[in-house]
Amino acid sequence: MGLSVPAVAVLLVALLCLDPHGRVGSAPICAHGPSGCHVPSLADLFDRVIQHSARMHSLSNDLHSEFEQYFLPSKNHIGKIYRKCHTSNILTPNGKENAQKLAREELTEVILKLLMAWRDPLFQLHQSMAHQQDFNSFSSNKALEMGDMAHELRKGVEKVAEKMRVLGMLGNSVTGLSAAEAMLPLSDSGEAMSDYELLYCFRRDSNKVQNYLKILKCRIVPEHDC
């Protein structure tokens, strides 16, 4: 209020003109052609994504084992009774042949759907594990890492899908991810799932994702004996 209008105007102009973001435009990194930087091939991308998914699945297995040891020490392996996961509604191929028979676009879509469905529940899992004193900080860090990994994996798979689409390997029948809504983890009775159930389900789903990616890669990137 103390400043006069012209002064304010001058300030504004100065800010705008001197703003580095305003003056510097973003340039692509590999503007100088393929020799300038290394553009990863689709095979490389797939490898990275598959490694990522393997790591994620390993983490989920560790957490699940810890949980089992900690909370269910008396009976190892209480029979794995059927637990309905919130992702059970997503139709997934249940075997190698089934997955191989599935179209690439559908397979990709299934992968993305799965990953999307786990975005919020993993965050929820980390929150609840962090608050419980039963878990040590190491476990809750693992849960956090797991959630981050799922997020990154989804981004990676999206990039792969984009690349595939660019290369013409994928038809346009792949629906956008906007259609895949995040699902709330609810059990049959409609109540929120427990940590153990979440871990159990995610362990299974991460294994699915890993195997689907491998099958997809084998189909897209022609390799020997694939």
Partner 1 sequence: MAYSLSLGLLYLGLLCGNGLVSARSELFTPDPSRGPHFTGCRSREQETFRCWWSAGIFQNLTEPGALRVFYQTKNALLSEWQECPDYTHTVKNECYFNKTFTHIWTSYCIQLRSVRENITYDETCFTVENIVHPDPPIGLNWTLLNVSRSGLHFDILVRWAPPPSADVQMGWMSLVYQVQYRVRNASHWEMLDLESGTQQSIYGLHTDKEYEVRVRCKMSAFDNFGEFSDSILVHVAQIPSKESTFPTMLVLIFGVIGLVILLVLLIFSQQQRLMVIFLPPIPAPKIKGIDPELLKNGKLDQLNSLLSSQDMYKPDFYHEDPWVEFIQLDLDDPPEKNESSDTQHRLGLSRSGSSHVLNFKSDDDSGRASCYDPEIPNPEDLASLLPGHSGRGDNHPLVSRSISSIPDLGVQQTSEVEETPIQTQPAVPSWVNMDFYAQVSDFTPAGGVVLSPGQLNSSPEKKKEEENEKKIQFQLVSDGAYTSENTARQLSTEVPPSPGPEQGYQTFPTQAVEGNLWNGEYLVSTSDSQIPYLLPEAPPAPILPPVSDYTVVQEVDAQHSLLLNPPSLQPAICPHSPNKHLPAMPTMPMGYLTPDLLGNLTP
> Least separation, in Å, of the C-beta of 37 and partner 1?
29
Q: What is the C-alpha to C-alpha distance for residues 2 and 29, in angstroms, rounded to an integer?
A: 46
Which among 91-99, 104-112, 139-147, 162-170 is the span making contact with partner 1, rule CB under 8 A? 91-99
Q: What angle do CA 199, 179, 187 make, to 5 degrees?
A: 30
79 binds partner 1 (CB under 8 A): yes
Q: Return the residue of 6, 95, 190, 222 that touches partner 1, per CB under 8 A.
A: 95
- Three-state DSSP class for 91? coil
List the interface residues with partner 1, window 162-201 (CB under 8 A).
191-197
Those residues whose C-beta lies under 8 Å from the C-beta of residue 165, and which sit 6 or more positions away, are 172, 174
Residue from 219, 211, 217 nearest 57 by CA:
211
Which among 21-29, 85-93, 164-172, 173-181 is the span making contact with partner 1, rule CB under 8 A? 85-93
Contact track, partner 1, 25-64, x by CB under 8 A: -------------------------x---x--xx--x---
Q: If you ran DSSP here, which 8-state letter would residue 192 be given? A: B
Those residues whose C-beta lies under 8 Å from the C-beta of residue 110, and which sit 6 or more positions away, are 90, 91, 92, 93, 102, 212
Q: What is the C-alpha to C-alpha distance for residues 173 and 152, in angstroms, rounded to an integer?
A: 24
Q: Return the residue of 49, 92, 117, 143 that touches partner 1, per CB under 8 A.
A: 92
Rg over CA atoms, the chain: 23
# residues contacting partner 1 (CB under 8 A): 43
Residues forming a β-bridge with 192:
186
> Least separation, in Å, of the C-beta of 146 and partner 1?
13
> Least separation, in Å, of the C-beta of 154 and partner 1?
19
Residue type, 120: D
The residue assigned the tokens 């159990």 is 200
Which pair of tokens denotes residue 173? 């029948």
> Least separation, in Å, of the C-beta of 34 and partner 1?
29
127 binds partner 1 (CB under 8 A): no
Q: Return the residue of 32, 78, 168, 222 that touches partner 1, per CB under 8 A.
A: 78
84 binds partner 1 (CB under 8 A): yes
* Residues at the site binding partner 1, with contacts judged by CB under 8 A: 50, 54, 57-58, 61, 65, 72, 75-84, 88-89, 92, 94-97, 191-197, 204, 207-208, 211, 214-215, 217-218, 223-226
